[in-house]
A and B are shown apart, each in its own frame.
Chain A
Amino acid sequence: GEDVEQSLFLSVREGDSSVINCTYTDSSSTYLYWYKQEPGAGLQLLTYIFSNMDMKQDQRLTVLLNKKDKHLSLRIADTQTGDSAIYFCASETGANNLFFGTGTRLTVIP
Chain B
Amino acid sequence: ETGVTQTPRHLVMGMTNKKSLKCEQHLGHNAMYWYKQSAKKPLELMFVYSLEERVENNSVPSRFSPECPNSSHLFLHLHTLQPEDSALYLCASSQDRSYNEQFFGPGTRLTVL
The size class of the interface chain B forms with chain A is 20 to 34
B4 surroundings in chain A (CB, below 8 A) = 42
Interface pair B104/A42, CB less than 8 Å apart: yes
Interface pair B56/A97, CB less than 8 Å apart: yes
Which residues 73-113 in B have Cβ within 8 Å of A in the complex? 90-92, 97-98, 100-107
Interface pair A98/B100, CB less than 8 Å apart: yes
A46 to B108 CA separation, bound complex (whole angstroms): 22
Interface pair A99/B100, CB less than 8 Å apart: no
One of B12-20, B36-44, B60-68 at the interface = B36-44
The size class of the interface chain A forms with chain B is 20 to 34
A100 to B38 CA separation, bound complex (whole angstroms): 12
B107 surroundings in chain A (CB, below 8 A) = 42
A4 to B100 CA separation, bound complex (whole angstroms): 17
A8 surroundings in chain B (CB, below 8 A) = 40
In angstroms, how far is the closest chain B Cβ from the Cβ of A94? 11
Interface pair B100/A92, CB less than 8 Å apart: yes
Please give the residue numbers on chain B whose beta carbons come within 8 Å of chain A beta carbons, in ascending order.
4, 6, 35, 40-43, 45, 48, 56, 90-92, 97-98, 100-107
Please give the residue numbers on chain A whose beta carbons come within 8 Å of chain B beta carbons, in ascending order.
4, 8, 31, 33, 35, 40-45, 48, 88, 90, 92, 96-103
